Amino acid sequence: MDGRNSSMAKVVLVMAVIGITASGCLKTEAFPVEPKVTFKSFEFFGDSASLTISFTDGDGDIGLDPSDNAAPFDTGSFYYYNLFLREQELIDGEWNDVVFVDSIFYRIPRITPTGQNKALEGEIAVAIDPFPLFITGNSDTVRFSVEMVDRALHLSNRVLTNNIIVP
């Protein structure tokens, strides 16, 4: 092999390595279009707390803009909110739902990515203030269930926090 062919082979080899490496960088995550949530942490901060979940969403349609207030996202609709917490307390070994006058629902702002790959993966932390929200006096242990819904109205799985001993 002469020097020119050898140099050409090295260039082709380097280009092939760069091409393979670059294609690995462009690999897109494949998540289902329904959001999936996972409990991450619960932390106390005096008389408040923070609950953190991680999430994935295959088509990236998580969150709402303030202007998203027409049906089905109007104020009278279940879908006005897109993150839902429900509290339970442990009484005599059984979990009982705690019913509030005002629900513990949140409106996550729009976080849709730009570009071709719309898959989302991230974390959301919500403040629970004051904490505890409600204790009947019959229990010192609570937990929360968490669900979210995307703009296509796909409801996520429901995840439970760990047991939380109320200080």
Q: What is the pLDDT of residue 135?
A: 64
Q: What residue spans define the domains of the chain?
A: 1-29, 36-165
Rounded to a whole number of angstroms, the CA Rg of the chain reads 24
d(CA 52, CA 3): 61
* Per-residue confidence (pLDDT) for residue 67, from 0 to 100: 95
**Is 135 in contact with 89 (CB distance < 8 Å)?**
yes
CATH number 1.10.150 is the correct assignment for the domain at 36-165: no
Kindly report whether the global pTM for this prediction surpasses the value 0.85. no
Per-residue pLDDT of the chain (167 residues; tens, 9 = 90+): 544 443 344 444 444 444 444 444 445 668 999 999 999 999 988 888 999 999 999 999 999 999 999 999 999 999 999 999 999 999 889 999 988 877 889 999 998 777 778 889 999 999 988 877 766 667 889 999 999 999 999 999 999 999 998 87
